[in-house]
Structure 1
Amino acid sequence: MSRSSLTQRIRAAWAVYLLMVPGFILIVMFSFYPLVMSWYYAFFDWSGVDAAKYFVGLQNFRELMADEYFWNAFARSLWFAGVATPIELFLSLLLAIVLNDRALRLAPLFRTLFFIPVVTTTAIVSIVMSMVFSSFNGPANQALRALGAIEEPIGFLADTRTVMWTAIGLFVWKWLGQPMIYWLAGLQTIPNELYEAAQVDGAGWWRRTISITAPMLTPFAVVIALIVLVGNMQVFAFMQALTHGGPYFSTEVMELYIYRMAFGAQGQVSIQRLGYASAAGVLFGILLIILAVAQIFTARKFRRGAGLAGAS
């Protein structure tokens, strides 16, 4: 395309580009600018409040390497995503297969019901669930007591042994509908004639799933798995409203650690080390970039493999 023709097309659609300007300004203000400044502040010793800030080079990064709280938060983020992701993928795939059955007349209703938690505000869900699973007269403990399953209330969100598992269960429940929609989109690309032919040959539901559904969904599975994994590494709003990182830092994931370093306090001492928190954010961002790049290359690999298989 020549430069003159491109200019003509821009002039012809000037109203469209004009309408894009407010959105572009907001993206620059709230996405690009904070991203660039976080890299800049990572090399400074700055509280974020005082006017004076001191250039320290890589000192923040060296201190992070020796910070036990940083590595613990980093490990919790990986553990949270590593446990939640396969559970979420398996349950959402199972739901998608069931709700993709045309014989199920109420499938659209069930899809809506499972997707409602996804569009519900994360903070509201977390606050409500913190009350539901409260050790003090929470409905969950009251129901278990009424059934005779327990004698003493369970500290779902107050016990370090149960809080992370409770958080993972609630998180999976809230976001289960999103990968379910992805799986449904993949399932609907499979020609129904394949299932009909397999059924004529005497293949049962399990055989059709293994021989048709699984191979056809493999390219989608790679992309969906990596999208869910990256999303499960970003749980700040959910965990902040649900547990605030407690009890005893047992649910402090990376984003909560960054928030605490930038704006929080430890005991009676105010921390507010925005430069140090920016360095932690940079390292966490690099991890997410690595996961995103892995997603792109893995998806390309499977697409090429599928193309070669189809050509042969």
Structure 2
Amino acid sequence: MWHYIFLTPMALLFVAFTVWPMLASWWYSLFNWDGIGPASDWVGLANYTEVLQSPKFWHSFGNSFLFSLVAICVQMPLALLAAILLNSARLRGRNLYRLLLFLPVVTSTPVIGIIFAILLDPSGGLLNQILSWSGLSSAPVTFLSESYALPTLMVIDIWKTFGVTLVYWLAALQTVPGDLYEAASIDGANGRQRLRHVTLPVIAPIAVVILVLTFQGSMNPFDLVQAMTQGGPNHATDVVATYIYHYAFSPDLNAPRFGFVCAAGVVFGMVTLVITVLQGPLLRRYYLRGSR
């Protein structure tokens, strides 16, 4: 009985802040609702039709997907290399290095966005001054322009969330038995061979989980984008979350469109769920084929 009593507060919070918002989003997405009063203007699937036919929605979804793709293709390999180095007992001060790499994760993202906006300012920003002093650029670089804003945000996002993926890989490396390394060393394997034939095969199943977590975590960089560009300039850095935020809270609208944004959120969630569900079987099949 006491087990259920202690679980009750968490269960109530889960229902109130996770289950109910999900169910409410499905319900309100069927109405033309401005968030005031009860939802009564039934429109059925009209909101979903508008979302699916909206080029801006799919543009923002593509940007969100690019954030995840860069995190998987760039951040994951770099974090694995860093984890292998920091997992070595011969590295002095490795705990300090781990702390420094994880520090951006616990730093407030809006603060990071404001600081980087100042550093990247084309008129007097520190980074442009360094480029000018070193002779690498004769003219100021507008890092948050329409052409460079999205890659710039991706680089900052990798730096900001690098520590999370690093912790995942460090945890995976702890599962490799030391006896396997000793046996490989006795057989004459060097460090690269131990990595290829011992470390990577053992952590491969965990790598599938890390990939899924990295994909899900990087699909919603709302706080960084909102703090630095608000989805601009000219919607160049719009992600799904800023797209939804605009239609729900933008002062430019005569009335917020909560029904429409609920439909956009449901579509985004379903597409993300399908991609996530498909990743597991495909990656496991690839891993099994490679292990043979």
Q: Residues of 2 paired with 1:292 and 1:67: CA distance? A: 23
Q: Residues of 2 paired with 1:138 and 1:211: CA distance? A: 47
CA change 1:245–1:196 in 2 (3 A) is same
Q: Report the alpha carbon displacement of residue 89 of structure 1 after superposing the two structures with TM.
A: 0.3
Residue correspondence of structure 1 range 43-122 to structure 2 within 5 A: 43-49=30-36, 53-122=40-109
Match of 2:245 among 229, 238, 259: 259
CA RMSD of aligned residues (A): 2.3
Q: Residues of 1 paired with 2:201 and 2:32: CA distance? A: 53
Deviates more, 1:85-94 or 1:184-193: 184-193
> What residue is the counterpart of 2:265 in the other structure?
281
Q: Report the alpha carbon displacement of residue 60 of structure 1 after superposing the two structures with TM.
A: 0.7
Give the match's secondary structure for 2:75.
Answer: helix
> What residue is the counterpart of 1:166 in the other structure?
152
Give the match's secondary structure for 1:270.
Answer: coil
Q: Residues of 1 paired with 2:255 and 2:130: CA distance? A: 41
1:282 aligned partner, one-letter code? V
TM-score (norm 2): 0.91
1:96 aligned partner, one-letter code? A
Contact 1:219 1:302 (8 Å CA) reproduced: no
Q: Report the alpha carbon displacement of residue 54 of structure 1 after superposing the two structures with TM.
A: 0.7
1:162 aligned partner, one-letter code? Y
Q: Report the alpha carbon displacement of residue 148 of structure 1 after superposing the two structures with TM.
A: 2.0
Match of 1:148 among 132, 135, 141: 135
The answer as to 2:214 corresponding to 1:216 is no
Q: Residues of 2 paired with 1:271 and 1:211: CA distance? A: 60
Compare CA radii of gyration and give the structure with the larger one: 1
> What residue is the counterpart of 2:162 in the other structure?
176
The answer as to 2:122 corresponding to 1:135 is yes
Give the match's secondary structure for 1:55.
Answer: coil
The answer as to 2:198 corresponding to 1:204 is no
1:219 aligned partner, one-letter code? P
Count of matched residue positions in the alignment of Structure 1 and Structure 2? 291
The answer as to 2:12 corresponding to 1:25 is yes
The answer as to 2:173 corresponding to 1:192 is no
Q: Residues of 1 paired with 2:66 and 2:177: CA distance? A: 38
Q: Report the alpha carbon displacement of residue 294 of structure 1 after superposing the two structures with TM.
A: 3.6
CA change 1:262–1:53 in 2 (3 A) is farther
**Could you list the runs of 5+ residues in structure 2 that have no partner in the other structure?**
none
1:215 aligned partner, one-letter code? P
**Could you list the runs of 5+ residues in structure 1 that have no partner in the other structure?**
1-9
Q: Report the alpha carbon displacement of residue 167 of structure 1 after superposing the two structures with TM.
A: 0.5
Q: Residues of 2 paired with 1:286 and 1:229: CA distance? A: 15
Q: Percent same amino acid at aligned positions?
A: 37
Greater RCO structure (CA 8 Å; 6+ sep)? 2
Q: Report the alpha carbon displacement of residue 125 of structure 1 after superposing the two structures with TM.
A: 1.7
Match of 2:277 among 254, 278, 293: 293
Q: Residues of 2 paired with 1:136 and 1:29: CA distance? A: 47
TM-score (norm 1): 0.85
Contact 2:71 2:214 (8 Å CA) reproduced: no
> What residue is the counterpart of 1:6 in the other structure?
none
